[in-house]
Amino acid sequence: MLVSADDITRSLRGTAGLLNHKPGALRCFDCSERGFWRSFGAIVLAAPAAVTALALERGPAALDGAPLLRADHVTLAVLGGVLACFLAVPVAMIGIARRLRLTAFYVPFVVVTNWILVVAFLALSVPGLLLALDLSTPGLAVLQAGAFTVVVLRVHATAVRETLGLSGPAAALTTLACAGIVAMVAGGAHALI
C-alpha cells in the first residue's frame, strides 16, 4: 500500500488534468486493484493537513514549543477524522454502486476521488496554516477556504462524471452527497474534541 513517487506524480498530473478538462486525464490514474489499494496509501500525503488541523484545534499556545502530536483525545480525533474521511465515501459508495448497477466503475471512482481528497486536504490546509500562524484573519481564511472548496467540488464533479458516466446534474448531486458525507465525518471528529 506504499505510494511511490511515480504514483504521486501521475495522480497529481491526472487531478490537474481533470481541473483543466484535459482529455485522457483519467489515464494518469492507476485504476488496477493495486492502484485501488495504493490510493488509500495516499492518506500519508494528507499529513500536513492533519498537522494544520491539530495546530488550529490546540490554538496559538500549541505553536509556542509544546508538541502538536500528543497522546490525547485531540490527536486521536483529528487523525481518526482524516482516516474516516478517506473511508466514508468509498464505504457509502459500495451500496450506491450496487443499487445503480455501477459496480464496474467503482474502482476508478474510488481511486480518482481518493487522490482528489488528498489535493483537497492540502489545498484547504493552506488557509488554516495561514490562520494558525496569525498571517490571516478568520474572515479571510473562510473566504480562501470557500474558494478552494469551489475548485475542489468542480474537479470532483468532473471526476464523477467521467468515472461513473453520469450526466452533469447527476454528477453534481453525487459530488454534493460525497461532500456532505465528508463534512459530517469531519464535524463528528471535531465534536469529539
Tell me: the pLDDT tens digits for 144-185? 999 999 999 999 999 999 999 999 999 999 999 999 999 999
What pLDDT is attached to residue 73? 81
Statement: residue 137 has pLDDT above 80: yes
Picking from 126, 117, 124, the residue whose alpha carbon sits closest to that of residue 40 is: 117
Statement: residue 67 has pLDDT above 80: no
The string of pLDDT tens digits covering residues 37-66 is 999 999 999 999 999 988 888 876 666 666
Average pLDDT estimate for 63-90: 83
Q: At what angle do helices 47-58 and 73-99 cross, to 10 degrees?
A: 130
Grid coordinates standing for 153? Answer: 467540488
More confident residue, 9 or 192: 9
The single-letter code of the amino acid at 43 is I
Q: Are 117 and 86 in contact (CB under 8 A)?
A: yes
**Rounded Cα distance, 70 and 109, in Å:** 35
Q: What is the 3-state secondary structure (H, E, C) of 125-161?
A: HHHHHHHHCCCCCHHHHHHHHHHHHHHHHHHHHHHHH
**Rounded Cα distance, 43 and 22, in Å:** 25
